[in-house]
């Protein structure tokens, strides 16, 4: 079973009330891979400019991340600048510079077209589609996007949606895409556009998995210290797909467990600036965190009222 991601490989400058970073390693593909590789090897497709500290990415290769699908092009790397509110609940994008992503034409390395599990990380939907079209028979395609692309590329995004199994977005994106403020109605609208499942991330309130006939909810792990929410969504996707690739199952129970692995990884992402929350983590630590969710969410079977 192989797991492939396409997404941004970025240099992030992030401001939070607790500190800031400048040109730090980031991007949807990077956060996804760092989280997913704790559970399953990952292959990454993307592009960086000639200003990217490629050695820093190579250090992460030891974790089971294969960067050979990341092209190095002449020009500037993708850069994103964002600022969080005091309660870390909302963020403002100060700047998005596509750089080499603007002219990127993805081409998978030989053999990668056999990918089984595919994550179309947040990037231009035209590029997401270009990668998907090169993959022969994926078992599961999960796709993320963000308001930037919903605003600028909605027709392409809707075309892509017809080909994905799971759309994974945050609640404001689901509302913006559907034009409906009610998240459950927004979910129904999105499911009518192609995906079989919709995962809605709700930050510190957890995440919903909306299916045509039922909805499942997983809370976020309760944390007293949160430093930087950047990448939490991609780390969630890494836990979700990394788990499914690891267990090679898409049963209803495993889909729910995948949500818990996603939530656990999202929690690690926010515990440190940039990728710091993942330093020193291993699969055992991830499993212990996942077990904590059993106690966090266990509801004893209802007894008749006395």
In the list 53, 61, 96, 276, the residue contacting ligand AMP (rule: CB under 6 A) is 96
- Residue 180 burial class via C-beta count within 10 angstroms: exposed 0-12, middle 13-18, buried 19 and up: middle
In the list 3, 4, 6, 8, the residue contacting ligand AMP (rule: CB under 6 A) is 8
Is there binding between residue 232 and ligand AMP (CB under 6 A)?
Answer: yes
In degrees, rounded to 5, the angle at the alpha carbon of residue 26 between the alpha carbons of residues 60 and 230 is: 120
Structure token pair of residue 298: 């266990």
Nearest alpha-carbon partner for 122 in 161, 91, 77, 168: 168
- Residue with smaller CB distance to ligand AMP, 85 or 114: 85
Applying CB under 6 A, the span of 45-53, 173-181, 224-232, 292-300 interacting with ligand AMP comes to 224-232
- Residue with smaller CB distance to ligand AMP, 101 or 117: 101
Alpha helices in the chain (DSSP H): 28-36, 54-59, 125-132, 147-152, 154-161, 171-178, 183-191, 232-247, 252-270, 283-297
Q: DSSP letter string over 107-127?
A: -PPTTGGG-SEEEE-SS-HHH
Ramachandran angles phi, psi of 305, nearest 5°: -65, 140
CB of 101 to ligand AMP, least distance (A): 8
Is there binding between residue 238 and ligand AMP (CB under 6 A)?
Answer: no
Structure token pair of residue 45: 């497709």
Interface of this chain with ligand AMP, residues 48 to 87, rule: CB under 6 A: 80
Interface of this chain with ligand AMP, residues 126 to 165, rule: CB under 6 A: 146, 148
Total residues contacting ligand AMP (rule CB under 6 A)? 17
CB of 148 to ligand AMP, least distance (A): 4
Is there binding between residue 26 and ligand AMP (CB under 6 A)?
Answer: yes
Q: Which residues bind ligand AMP (CB under 6 A)?
A: 8, 10, 12, 26-28, 80, 96, 122-123, 146, 148, 230-234
């Amino acid at each position: 079973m192989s797991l492939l991601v396409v997404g941004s490989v970025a240099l992030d400058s992030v401001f939070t009330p607790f500190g800031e970073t400048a040109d730090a390693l980031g991007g949807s593909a990077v956060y996804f891979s760092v989280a997913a590789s704790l559970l399953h090897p990952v292959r990454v497709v993307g592009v960086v400019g000639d200003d990217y500290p490629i050695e820093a990415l190579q250090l992460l290769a030891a974790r089971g991340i294969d960067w050979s699908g990341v092209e190095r092009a002449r020009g500037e790397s993708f850069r994103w600048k964002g600022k969080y509110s005091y309660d870390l609940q909302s963020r403002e994008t100060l700047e998005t510079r596509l750089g080499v992503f603007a002219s990127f034409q993805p081409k998978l390395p030989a053999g990668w077209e056999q990918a089984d599990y595919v994550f179309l990380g947040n990037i231009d939907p035209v590029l997401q589609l270009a990668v998907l079209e090169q993959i022969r028979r994926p078992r599961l395609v999960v796709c993320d996007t963000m308001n930037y692309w919903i605003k600028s590329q909605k027709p392409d995004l809707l075309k892509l949606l017809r080909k994905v199994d799971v759309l994974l977005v945050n609640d404001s994106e689901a509302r913006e895409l559907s034009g409906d403020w009610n998240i459950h109605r927004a979910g129904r609208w999105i499911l009518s556009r192609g995906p079989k499942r919709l995962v809605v991330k709700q930050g510190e309130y957890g995440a919903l998995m909306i299916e045509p006939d039922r909805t499942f909810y997983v809370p976020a792990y309760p944390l007293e210290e949160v430093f930087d929410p950047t990448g939490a969504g991609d780390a969630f996707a890494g836990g979700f797909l990394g788990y499914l690739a690891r267990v090679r199952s898409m049963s209803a129970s495993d889909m729910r467990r995948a949500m818990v692995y996603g939530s656990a990884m999202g929690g690690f992402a926010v515990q440190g600036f940039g990728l710091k929350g993942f330093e020193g983590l291993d699969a055992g630590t991830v499993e212990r965190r996942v077990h904590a969710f059993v106690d966090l969410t266990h509801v004893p079977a209802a007894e008749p009222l006395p």
